[in-house]
């Protein structure tokens, strides 16, 4: 049981509350109560919290976001893949630390978090990119805001589990920006895929376009594919790794979601894939640059040049990204009659529900007939032709 005692301060009589912390077994006190009644109410609340397990040590809540965030980031670096950690580190360094580093976790209020969210969305939040004239930059996208908030919330989650604070005020924010996709998803037809591949400047690029468009591999999975990963007897590719470009360097690791999978490829891809594997050992890369190294991601933004952008221009296909070819693979598979589980396994989604959520428009509009079957022979002939270019 705690105790209450009065003491004389410069501003007059004040009261202190003393109690014993059950976890550290040391005496704790809080001073400055103007009336004995205020002290009694605080002591009563403290005793209830000690009884129901919601008690937190006021001293532990004095730790700053900077103190806890540094260790939180170290733990994330140990548990996350390099690409995922890089995104978190950027959010922490650019957005979270400049605003919250010196703030005590016990002093953070929900209203302050919501104000920060608004400032990020407006482009007025303090960042480490603030210019000397005070201009902080342009409004941040919903994705950037969500990621920055997620870092702060993750740090405070740890503080809650440690018993430093009773609840996480970064959870349940009311003014989060809506996520909107301004660019409509682009699905290529069989004919457009052939046009694009035919316009590529090398056989490696042509084969890469076909693999992305018909197998649904992510870019990192396609460029990380080894010769031993291809089973020509069963027309299967085993996705064992991903080669992700992180801050200018290639980092090889497990595929996204840590899920290895086996993906079928159509018969007409056997010839170009065999060409890519010719003269190579089992552990060699299938698709490489001129020096035998991993291919670098092709840039497609306006004003940039790359082999992929050049192929788009020559083919007459409207601007899209290599990742859009993954959507094309889903579209072509669904139009050929593939069910949701087959598409899920091909794409490596965590669940069929995720596949349905992503491509609901395709499943809703799929006809019972299969256009792929009627064009299979012509398509094989087209692929055979373009790989000879």
Report whether pLDDT(130) > 60: no
> What local confidence, expressed as pLDDT, does residue 145 receive?
94
Between 341 and 387, residue with greater pLDDT: 341
> What local confidence, expressed as pLDDT, does residue 255 receive?
84
> What local confidence, expressed as pLDDT, does residue 300 receive?
85
- As beta bridge partners, residue 5 has 16
> What local confidence, expressed as pLDDT, does residue 373 receive?
40
Residue 15 Cα distances to 6, 50, 58, angstroms: 4, 21, 17
The DSSP secondary-structure symbol of 328 reads H
Query: What is the rounded average pLDDT of the residues 259-266?
Result: 90
Between 19 and 145, residue with greater pLDDT: 145
* Token reading at 332: 């072509």
Pairing of strands 249-253, 242-246: antiparallel
Residue-by-residue DSSP string for 269-286: GHHHHHHHHTT--TTSBS
Report whether pLDDT(329) > 80: yes
Backbone angles phi, psi at 354, to 5 degrees: -65, -40
Summarize pLDDT for 184-237 with one digit per residue, the tens. 788 999 999 999 999 999 999 999 999 999 999 999 999 999 999 999 999 999
Q: Which of 219, 210, 322 is nearest to 266 (CA)?
A: 210
Backbone angles phi, psi at 273, to 5 degrees: -70, -40
Cβ–Cβ under 8 Å, residues 96 and 150 = no
The DSSP secondary-structure symbol of 301 reads S
What band does 368 get if pLDDT is binned at 50, 70 and 90?
very low
């Amino acid at each position: 049981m705690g105790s209450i005692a009065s003491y004389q301060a410069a501003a007059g009589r004040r009261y202190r509350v003393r109690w014993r912390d059950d976890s550290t077994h040391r005496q704790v006190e809080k001073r400055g109560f103007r009336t004995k009644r205020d002290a009694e109410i605080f002591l009563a609340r403290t005793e209830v919290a000690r009884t129901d397990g919601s008690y937190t040590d006021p001293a532990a809540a004095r730790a700053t976001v900077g103190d806890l965030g540094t260790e939180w980031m170290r733990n994330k670096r140990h548990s996350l893949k390099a690409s995922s950690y890089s995104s978190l580190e950027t959010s922490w360094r650019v957005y979270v630390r400049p605003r919250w580093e010196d703030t005590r976790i016990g002093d953070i209020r929900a209203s302050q978090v919501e104000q920060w969210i608004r400032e990020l969305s407006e482009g007025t939040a303090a960042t480490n990119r603030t210019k000397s004239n005070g201009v902080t930059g342009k409004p941040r996208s919903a994705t950037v805001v969500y990621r920055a908030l997620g870092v702060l919330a993750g740090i405070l989650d740890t503080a809650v589990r440690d018993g430093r604070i009773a609840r996480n005020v970064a959870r349940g924010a009311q003014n989060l920006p809506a996520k909107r996709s301004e660019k409509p998803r682009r699905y290529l037809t069989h004919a457009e895929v052939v046009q694009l591949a035919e316009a590529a400047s090398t056989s490696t690029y042509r084969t890469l376009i076909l693999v992305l468009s018909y197998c649904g591999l992510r870019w990192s999975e396609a460029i990380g594919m080894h010769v031993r990963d291809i089973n020509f007897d069963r027309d299967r590719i085993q996705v064992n790794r991903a080669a992700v470009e992180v801050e200018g360097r290639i980092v090889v690791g497990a595929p996204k979601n840590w899920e290895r999978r086996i993906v079928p490829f159509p018969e007409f891809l056997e010839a170009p894939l065999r060409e890519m594997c010719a003269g190579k050992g089992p552990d060699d890369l299938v698709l490489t640059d001129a020096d035998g190294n991993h291919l670098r991601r092709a840039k497609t933004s306006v004003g940039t040049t790359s082999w992929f952008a050049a192929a788009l221009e020559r083919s007459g296909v409207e601007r899209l990204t290599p990742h859009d070819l993954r959507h094309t693979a889903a579209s072509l598979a669904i139009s050929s009659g593939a069910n949701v589980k087959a598409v899920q396994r091909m794409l490596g989604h965590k669940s069929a529900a995720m596949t349905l959520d992503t491509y609901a428009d395709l499943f809703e509009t799929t006809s019972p007939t299969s256009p792929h079957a009627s064009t299979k022979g012509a398509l094989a002939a087209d692929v055979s032709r373009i790989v000879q270019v």
